[in-house]
Amino acid sequence: MREDGQYDDLAAFLGARGDALLRTAVLLAPGRDGGEDLLQEALERLLRNRHKVDGDPEGYLRRIMYNRAVDGWRSRSRRPEVLGLPADAAVADHVSLLDLRLELIQALGQLTPRQRATIVARYWEELSEAEAATALGCSVSAVKSAAARGLRALREVITPEAESLPHLSEGRQS
């Protein structure tokens, strides 16, 4: 990020990538308000450390968001969070999608911080295992392990009755 015209570059960058970054932040810090706060904090850190950023700032910004989200989960006790929903989100045609999204956000909230960051990086951001490991500052094997455990936990949270069904549990052993 260049020193001269840095705010113009940042405005153009946010215009192009801001919505995607906000969606990721909302998943990392459940709820729109938490996501906006997380993204704002990451942007502030990006501006303070702009001399460290060469070229496209998106990777640096995403790593800040992942790390701040994990740090935030570690520093406070777990508690249910109230989601800030947009007023037009409850349109009758979109109720089932909204219910599914809320269920996913609640399920993500029950994962450990590392599992949640890994799941968001791998499956929401569609990063490869190596890219996720770089973004999260860990090894590829740690990403694989956290993703596997996180997906298992999500399955248990979202469909707990599936564990007791014989035809589903038999397929896993093979």
110 pLDDT higher than 70? yes
Q: Tell me how long the chain is.
A: 174
Q: What is the CA radius of gyration of the chain?
A: 18
Residue 5's pLDDT is 53
Q: What residue has token string 């995607």?
A: 20
User: Residue 95 — very low, low, confident or very high, per pLDDT cuts 50/70/90?
Assistant: low
Residue 141, by phi and psi: left (phi above 0), alpha (psi -120 to 50) or beta? alpha
**Residues 114-171 pLDDT 10s:** 899 999 899 888 889 999 999 888 999 999 999 999 999 988 887 765 444 444 444 4
**Residues 36-57 pLDDT 10s:** 888 889 988 888 887 777 777 8
Q: For residue 111, give every residue at least 6 positions away whose Cβ sits within 8 Å of its Cβ, in sequence order, or none.
A: 119, 150, 153, 154
93 pLDDT higher than 60? no
Residue 126's pLDDT is 87
Residue 54's pLDDT is 76
Measured distance CA(33)–CA(84) in Å, rounded = 6
Residue 83's pLDDT is 41
